[in-house]
Amino acid sequence: MARQKQQSASTIVIGALGTNDYKPTTYQFTENEPTYQTPISLAALAADKKAQQILVISTTAAQEKNGRLLSEETLRLCQLEPTFIPIEDGKDIYELWDIFQVIADNIPSNAQVYADITNGFRSLPLLMNSALVYLTQVKGIEIKEITYGAFEAKKVDITPVFDITPFTSLIEWSAAVNIFSTSGDCAAIANMLNDTLTNIVDSKYFVLEDDGWERLPQEIDDHFEELQNLLQQFSEFADMLYIIRLTNLAKQIVAEIDAVRAYLISPIATLFQSIQKEFEQFAAEPFTKSTVKEQLAKQIRLMDWMVNKKHYFQAIAVAREWFVTWAMQKKGGFQEDDFLSYEKRDSDLVADMIDKLPPSYQRDANRIWKLTKELRNELAHSGYSKSTKSSEDMQKNIKDIVKFLANKGQSL
């Protein structure tokens, strides 16, 4: 598969400079790639990534001791002078915040950034990493790679350069999962999966052969396809959350997560496990006559999940349809596809079936069904009613409906 690399118009390499005595070594980013002989890993990174700008965070003492050496190395390796960003020594929390702000101020908007955290005094690599994550939101920068020149892992004068970007991406993964856990919105997870797939296409799963860019072996293709499937399911769930029909889609997502978890690094696999548990609560087989009972049980769990995520309109809409499905199942005599037929889903049937319940159930069931209709209509008509309930009362009423169905729905 032929593929060409694209070079960004604003490729920035950023790193720190310390006061150590840097020793010459040979840096190599991945096996079989070019090597760079230099005492300073930042210079090697700038050469490897074809930097268009080199930003160097440096105290006055560090620049006085090693600034000239770094300039000589970047000029030799990539014909580029570094730009030094002066910072304080970081002797107190105020100076640390000043350092953070200096880093943030000097990186332009929408830049593609490669960062080296090999050198720098104490907390400086952490501050730089935090600033970069912050700037992805504030300035729209893209963190292409964060590298560490592992001098302590040197073998036969070859110092490996580790790509530690996945550790930074865990922050974004955690934030995406937190959004899902608190709101049920998995759009951020879909975006993270999309970035993962883009990264695969752009670099990690292609190798340069004599006749162009070629795919790696078949098992990588299988992995790629499974991730694509999972992305499609999450994207559909993000769109369908407000359309409500989610139980069978949840079932598909549970299966897709099972398919890819073995390929994921352990921390991300653990995050996906927590997502999987949420979906398993209401995951069900596609809606047919034979799965009606399962769907009724799972839809109660779905309503409860929606209420916990504060999707009250969706919860009450599901509750209204739950009663219609229950009434059809209770009456019997419907064909396989009737449960999904709009013409067959008659809400008047609900009252008839409630009247056939034992007296001990009729009063509560009638009250809940009436409340369900009222709330559904009030929400559907945006509160244009002379007897509009307060937000607090509506939330309480919706929770009461879900509680009733959770406690008694299976025995009606």
173-210 per-position pLDDT tens digit: 888 888 888 888 888 888 888 776 666 544 444 444 45
**What is the average pLDDT across 279-302?**
89
Q: Are 245 and 293 members of one domain?
A: no
C-alpha 222/C-alpha 231 separation (Å) is: 14
Instruction: Give which of 2, 5, 130, 3 is closest to 57, Cα–Cα.
Output: 130
pLDDT of residue 155: 81
Local confidence band at 383 (pLDDT 50, 70, 90 cut-offs): low
- In a domain? residue 6: no
Q: 143: Cβ–Cβ under 8 A, 6 or more apart, which residues?
A: 113, 115, 132, 133, 136, 165, 168
Six-digit token pair at 116?
Answer: 């080296």
Q: Are 226 and 248 members of one domain?
A: yes
**CA distances for 19 relative to 22, 25, 127, 279, angstroms:** 9, 17, 18, 52
C-alpha 300/C-alpha 294 separation (Å) is: 10
Counting the structural domains of the chain, the total is: 3
Q: Residue 44 maps to which CATH number?
A: 3.40.50.10640
Give me the percent of the chain exceeding a pLDDT of 90.
38
Q: Are 154 and 32 members of one domain?
A: yes
pLDDT of residue 62: 92
Instruction: Kindly tell me if the per-residue pLDDT of 168 is higher than 90.
Output: no
Q: Are 129 and 177 members of one domain?
A: no
Six-digit token pair at 362?
Answer: 């009729």
Which of 107, 128, 163 is at the close of a domain? 163
Q: Are 97 and 240 members of one domain?
A: no
108-129 per-position pLDDT tens digit: 999 999 999 988 777 888 888 8
- 52 close to 39: Cβ distance less than 8 angstroms: no
pLDDT of residue 205: 43
Instruction: Kindly tell me if the per-residue pLDDT of 357 is higher than 60.
Output: yes
**What is the average pLDDT across 214-232?**
61
Which of 251, 280, 309 is at the close of a domain? 280
Local confidence band at 401 (pLDDT 50, 70, 90 cut-offs): very high
- In a domain? residue 357: yes
Average pLDDT score, the chain: 84
**What is the average pLDDT across 100-105?**
91
The domain in which residue 381 lies consists of 289-411
pLDDT of residue 213: 42
